[in-house]
Amino acid sequence: DLPIPGKVLDACESLDGWASGGFTLSLDSDCKEGNYSLKATGSGVVILQKVFTPFDTEVTKDNGYLAFNLYVENTEVFGSGDSQFEITSSGGPDVNEVHWSVSEMNLFNGWNKVELSLEKAGTNVDLTAINFLRFYHTGLKGSINLKIDNIRFYKK
pLDDT at 4: 62
| DSSP secondary structure, the chain, as one string | -PPPPSEEEE-----TTEEESSPEEEEES--SSSS-EEEEEESSSEEEEEEEEEE-----TTTEEEEEEEEES-GGGG-SS-EEEEEESSSSTTSSEEEE-GGGG---SEEEEEEEE-TT--TTS-TT-EEEEEEEES--SS-EEEEEEEEEEEE-
- Whether the per-residue pLDDT at 2 is higher than 60: the answer is no
pLDDT at 80: 74
**Entry pTM:** 0.93
Mean pLDDT taken over the chain: 91
pLDDT at 122: 75
pLDDT at 146: 94
- Whether the per-residue pLDDT at 67 is higher than 70: the answer is yes
Q: What is the mean pLDDT of residues 34-50?
A: 92
Q: Whose CA is closest to 74, among 151, 134, 142? A: 142
pLDDT at 137: 87
- Whether the per-residue pLDDT at 1 is higher than 80: the answer is no
- Whether the per-residue pLDDT at 150 is higher than 80: the answer is yes
Read off the pLDDT of residues 85-131 as tens digits, 9 standing for 90 and up: 999 999 999 899 999 988 888 899 999 999 999 998 777 899 999 99
